[in-house]
Chains A and B, each alone.
Chain A
Amino acid sequence: GEDVEQSLFLSVREGDSSVINCTYTDSSSTYLYWYKQEPGAGLQLLTYIFSNMDMKQDQRLTVLLNKKDKHLSLRIADTQTGDSAIYFCAERRNDYKLSFGAGTTVTVRA
């Protein structure tokens, strides 16, 4: 199975908060990342968290890391239509390679 797992779909109303969850398996991962992919585009690095942190906030984005449970989440406050995209969780392994989840498709409805 996948090393990194995510739910596949999330539908949220405009203005509400979105929460995307991810689980990973490599306890020695140094960084965990969230990438955003809009239709027809490449991947854009949204945010990251170092493995010795519990939380990171960056404007509307909040990343929570539970290292014991190997659980990562991304919260988007005040979700806008421009937030509709696929969000990928990725872990950085000790060999510097990234392992990606399957991606969560976020749909923002009016």
Chain B
Amino acid sequence: SAVISQKPSRDICQRGTSLTIQCQVDSQVTMMFWYRQQPGQSLTLIATANQGSEATYESGFVIDKFPISRPNLTFSTLTVSNMSPEDSSIYLCSVEPLRVTSGGVDTQYFGPGTRLTVL
């Protein structure tokens, strides 16, 4: 498994501003992802954070709105730009560790989330 921390845990922001969320993992991982969970909804994948290259965005999400960095194998940031109340959500980082044994399982582990409220 992996231990994942996110900062900030929550924030209240004004419309039109930007917020950068950090995700830190306690071990090197191959894959890092960013999800959004809108109030009362399921999780929607925003993008895959690629180490050393541009993130891969899902349909409906663009780099100008959600720029992502991944400078190394243990850290990533997601910025929510030019925020509006519709961006109020929980933003979750997840990671998939490299499976080192043939008997292991491929799975994703999630951080505690960042609860964002935009006024």
A96 and B96 contact, CB distance less than 8 A: yes
Residues of A within 8 A of B (CB): 2, 30-31, 33, 35, 40-45, 48, 50, 88, 92, 96-98, 100-103
> CB-CB < 8 A to B72: which residues of A?
none
B112 and A88 contact, CB distance less than 8 A: no
Docked complex Cα distance between A2 and B44 (Å):
11
B106 on interface, CB distance cutoff 8 Å: yes
B41 and A102 contact, CB distance less than 8 A: yes
8 A-B pairs within 8 Å (CB atoms) are namely: A31-B105, A35-B110, A42-B111, A42-B113, A48-B107, A92-B106, A97-B45, A98-B45
The A/B interface has a contact count, at CB < 8 Å, of 47
B43 and A30 contact, CB distance less than 8 A: no
Residues of B within 8 A of A (CB): 1, 31, 33, 41-43, 45, 48, 92, 94, 96, 105-113, 115
B92 and A33 contact, CB distance less than 8 A: no
> CB-CB < 8 A to B109: which residues of A?
45
Least distance between A23 CB and chain B CB atoms (Å):
14
> CB-CB < 8 A to B96: which residues of A?
96
Docked complex Cα distance between A88 and B41 (Å):
11
> CB-CB < 8 A to A97: which residues of B?
33, 45, 48
Docked complex Cα distance between A30 and B42 (Å):
21
A98 and B108 contact, CB distance less than 8 A: yes
